[in-house]
Amino acid sequence: MYYEYFTVGTILFILGVIGIVLNRSNLIIMLMSIELMLLAISFLFLINSVVIDNLIGQVFTIIILTVAAAETSIGLAILVAYYRIRGTIAVKSLNLLRG
Amino acid sequence: MYLLVLFIPLLSAIVSGLFGRKIGERGAGVFTSSSIVISWVISMLIFYETNINTSPTYIKLWRWFDSELLITYFGLQFDALTGIMLVVVTSVSALVHIYSTGYMSGDPHIPRFMSYLSLFTFFMIVLVTSDNYVQLFIGWEGVGLCSYLLINFWLTRIQANKAAIKAMLVNRVGDIGLVLGMFAIFKEFGSLEFSTIFSAVNEVSHPNSIALICILLLIGAVGKSAQLGLHTWLPDAMEGPTPVSALIHAATMVTAGVFLIIRSGPLFESSSLALTVTTIVGALTALFGATVGLVQNDLKKVIAYSTCSQLGYMVMVCGVSNYSTSLFHLMNHAFFKALLFLSAGSVIHALADEQDMRKMGGLIRTIPFTYVMILIGSLSLMGFPYLTGFYSKDLILELVYDKYYIAFAYWLGAFSALLTAFYSIRLIYLTFISNTNSKKEVLMNIHESSWNITLPLLLLALGSIFVGYMAREVVVGTILPPIIPSSIKLIPVVLSLLGATLAFLSYNTLSGFKVFLPKIRPQTVVNLFNPAIYTFLNSAWQFNYVINHFLVVKVWKFGHLISYRVIDRGLLEIIGPRGISNLIIGVSQKISNLQSGLVFNYALIMLMFTTLFISGSGASEFASQQWAYIMFS
């Protein structure tokens, strides 16, 4: 039973990673992928907290939820500010700072 | 007194060189001339001490190099050889100084000229008075340097610059020989002082090392004394003013090489191979100089090649172990060659700086004094009986005759004597006796020069007549003339007189047969000799061409292609600064291209390296565990 949950969490995390790496069009999708990764992490924390019967995982989850909310709000604020200046939120056009 | 003879020429050079502006042109001339005359008086006293009283003096001044193995003192040695050389150097130098005040009048740089002349004399005195090879080398290089400065005196002339550089570089070739010889001496004897070396010369274990030392020293002498092979700088050195030629060719520079051989005589005595080579080189040089002198058209070059030839005699007789005879000829040669050069300078001066003998002639009526002087010099050079040259030159030829090895040296020398007489008379005939070829406006202005040009000539002429007779007992008193058939004894004089007569006849009586004159008008002038031979001799056996073509140009191209383009700008640049910087620039460009500015690339790279890091740490932990397992099981 644990392994199924663990696999689902890991797959969710990998989907989030793939969403960031392969995504070239939209900044919102990137944010959503980050949310998905955070969600997967939270899920894994919860599962492990239940399995090892320890409360600290759930404490971490609540903290992560808070951080994720704050992060999303700041991310969206940056996105809006960026959209006002550039008029587009395509990830491809985010390449002004080349090495 | 012994230090003053060194110090006074140096003082003269410094005062004239650094304060020439203060003391003026006349002041510089008078000061330097009187300094050298004082130096001459001192060296006469030294001559009296060392040669007449036979009491050599050794002075150790101070310790110079002190490195456990090699201890070299700055020391002076005044023995019979030094005494004679000092008299020769200072007397000719003093007369050249006096002569220069007249000859160079009107030149804007007289103080500099006089300073160089005095410096030259100083270095030559350093050379002859040293008691070790290192100090001798100071003088050796010093006279080379001063010859550069003096040949290049008219430094605006490109030919003078080239000739000076050539003189310097060709001399360097010989100097390398001398330096290597010094190394070999140090390796063999552990010392560079004459007294130590010559007393230990029989203790040398390996006979070949002495031969090596002597050959290397001989190479040094070949460079300095313009022997065959490294002689090419000497004729070119005529670009300097005439008093410079007199100083370089008569008394100082070229005699340094012969002096080195005479000084190193005990070393040469121990190696028969070196003596043989010395004789061969000397004999060939004598013949070479004499044949080339036959066809030169430049007044000074004729005398330059005759110097070459006479130096060949000196080296040749060194090779048959008669060093004092060589020194005697050196001394006599200094007087009559200085006389010849200075007389030639007087002629050139009178003809408004015309040096080509083909444009001279008929000067016997206008400048008879110079004619008499040059005649005395030439007769002395030819070895005319009872003149100075006779005493040494005939003695040389007699000593060389019937030596148990290399009999050909005598015949080369005797034939050279014939040629010497020929070109001496040719010079006199073309310059003084034949009909004139110069322009009327030049001829109208010919006159004898002022007293400070004629007085040195007169004194040198007296020297050319009497020195050989007077100094004979002092210099070569111990050498008995060898017992040889009278017919052989007569040969050099007969050949000289024959050569002189031939020359006079072929230019005077057989005026149609312009021997050894180029074909100016082929229809009227019958040339007895093939133009090819004439060209061959006129271009000095093509030595310059051969050396330039096969050596200088090759080295030059090697220097450009290999040293410069392949190694310096090629290999060393590629593995050196340029290659490394190119590599770093390229690699860093590629690395910085990874930073594309696209967010998803950054994310990918971050992920990849995180994965690598985690798995790498895992792998390394695994490997270390395996390693520990292998090590401790």
Which helix (H) or strand (E) element contains residue B66?
Answer: strand B57-67
The domain locations on chain A are 1-89
What local confidence, expressed as pLDDT, does residue B520 receive? Answer: 47
Tell me which amino acid residue B613 is: F
Q: What's the rounded Cα separation, in Å, for the pair A3 and A14? A: 16
Inter-CA distances, B453 with B70, B176, B340, B381, B502, Å: 48, 39, 13, 21, 32
Query: How many CB pairs below 8 Å do chains A and B form together?
Result: 35
Q: Which range of residues forms the domain containing residue B317?
A: 169-513
A10-14, B124-128, B530-534: least confidently modelled range: B530-534
What local confidence, expressed as pLDDT, does residue A64 receive? Answer: 94
Q: What is the mean pLDDT of the segment spanning B510-533?
A: 53
Q: Is A36 within 8 Å of chain B by CB?
A: no
Task: Judge whether B364 lies within some domain.
Answer: yes
| Residues of B whose CB is below 8 A from A91 | 598-600
| Residues of B whose CB is below 8 A from A20 | 599-600, 603
Q: Per-residue pLDDT for B98 more than 60?
A: yes
Query: Do B505 and B554 reside in the same domain of the chain?
Result: no
What local confidence, expressed as pLDDT, does residue B517 receive? Answer: 52
Per the model's pLDDT, the better-predicted residue between B628 and B98 turns out to be B98
The residue among B430, B441, B589, B400 whose CA lies nearest residue B517 is: B430
pLDDT tens-digit readout, B305-364: 999 999 999 998 888 888 888 999 999 999 999 999 999 999 988 888 888 887 887 888
Verify whether the Cβ–Cβ distance B599 to A94 is below 8 Å. Answer: yes
State the total domains in chain B. Answer: 3
B179-193, B263-277, B519-533, B553-567: least confidently modelled range: B519-533
What local confidence, expressed as pLDDT, does residue B497 receive? Answer: 87
Query: Do B580 and B445 reside in the same domain of the chain?
Result: no
Q: What's the rounded Cα separation, in Å, for the pair B79 and B49? A: 9
pLDDT tens-digit readout, B603-612: 888 888 888 9
pLDDT tens-digit readout, A36-88: 999 999 999 999 999 999 999 999 999 999 999 999 999 999 989 988 988 88
Task: Judge whether B521 lies within some domain.
Answer: no
Q: Per-residue pLDDT for B371 more than 50?
A: yes
Nearest-CA residue of chain A relative to B604?
A21
Distance to chain A for B599, nearest Cα, Å: 7
Neighbours of B470 (CB within 10 A): 13
Q: What's the rounded Cα separation, in Å, for the pair A21 and B464? A: 107
What local confidence, expressed as pLDDT, does residue B528 receive? Answer: 56
**Domain C-terminal end among B102, B131, B160:** B131
The residue among B11, B14, B62, B19 whose CA lies nearest residue B39 is: B11
Query: Please, what's the b/e burial string for B202-234 (b: 16 or more CB within 10 A of its CB; e: otherwise)?
Result: eebeeeebbbbbbbbbbbbbbbbbbbbbbbbbb
Query: Do B207 and B306 reside in the same domain of the chain?
Result: yes
Q: What's the rounded Cα separation, in Å, for the pair B360 and B350? A: 11
B34 Cβ neighbours under 8 A, 6+ residues apart = none
Query: Do B188 and B82 reside in the same domain of the chain?
Result: no
| Residues of B whose CB is below 8 A from A24 | 598, 600
pLDDT tens-digit readout, B172-199: 999 999 999 999 999 888 888 898 888 8
Q: Per-residue pLDDT for B519 more than 60?
A: no
Report whether A45 contacts A57 (CB < 8 A).
yes
pLDDT tens-digit readout, B127-137: 999 988 999 99
pLDDT tens-digit readout, B272-300: 888 889 988 998 999 999 988 888 888 89
Q: What is the mean pLDDT of the segment spanning B83-108?
A: 91
Query: Rounded to 5 degrees, what are φ and ψ at B544?
Result: -60, -45
What local confidence, expressed as pLDDT, does residue B36 receive? Answer: 93
What local confidence, expressed as pLDDT, does residue B216 receive? Answer: 93
Query: Do B318 and B414 reside in the same domain of the chain?
Result: yes
Q: Is A86 within 8 Å of chain B by CB?
A: no
- The residue assigned the tokens 């023995």 is B79
> Which CB contacts under 8 angstroms, 24+ apart, belong to B486-491?
B488/B398, B488/B401, B488/B402, B489/B394, B489/B398, B491/B397, B491/B414
Distance to chain B for A28, nearest Cα, Å: 13
- Overall fold of domain A1-89: Helix Hairpins (1.10.287)
Verify whether the Cβ–Cβ distance A21 to B603 is below 8 Å. Answer: yes
Q: What's the rounded Cα separation, in Å, for the pair B419 and B289? A: 9
Please give the structure tokens belonging to residue B398.
């007699």
Task: Judge whether B143 lies within some domain.
Answer: no
Query: Do B200 and B115 reside in the same domain of the chain?
Result: no
Q: Per-residue pLDDT for B524 more than 50?
A: no
Query: Do B97 and B237 reside in the same domain of the chain?
Result: no
Task: Judge whether B532 lies within some domain.
Answer: no
A14-23, B103-112, B235-244, B473-482: least confidently modelled range: B473-482
> Which residue in A23, A97, A98 is closest to B600 by CB distance?
A23
Query: Do B362 and B505 reside in the same domain of the chain?
Result: yes
**Domain C-terminal end among B103, B131, B159:** B131
How long a stretch of residues is chain A? 99
Query: Do B124 and B182 reside in the same domain of the chain?
Result: no
Q: Per-residue pLDDT for B234 more than 70?
A: yes
Verify whether the Cβ–Cβ distance B598 to A20 is below 8 Å. Answer: no
Nearest-CA residue of chain B relative to A92?
B598
Neighbours of B194 (CB within 10 A): 21
Provide DSSP, B41-91.
HHHHHHHIIIIIS---EEEEEEEEEEETTEEEEEEEEE-HHHHHHHHHHHH
Q: Is A29 within 8 Å of chain B by CB?
A: no
What local confidence, expressed as pLDDT, does residue B433 receive? Answer: 84
Verify whether the Cβ–Cβ distance B600 to A21 is below 8 Å. Answer: yes
Per the model's pLDDT, the better-predicted residue between B204 and B618 turns out to be B618
Q: Per-residue pLDDT for B525 more than 70?
A: no
The residue among B330, B180, B324 whose CA lies nearest residue B253 is: B330
Query: Do B568 and B503 reside in the same domain of the chain?
Result: no
> Which residue in B592, B599, B600 is closest to A99 by CB distance?
B592
The residue among B25, B104, B92 whose CA lies nearest residue B450 is: B104
Mean pLDDT of chain B: 86
Which helix (H) or strand (E) element contains residue B59?
Answer: strand B57-67
Q: Per-residue pLDDT for B13 more than 90?
A: yes
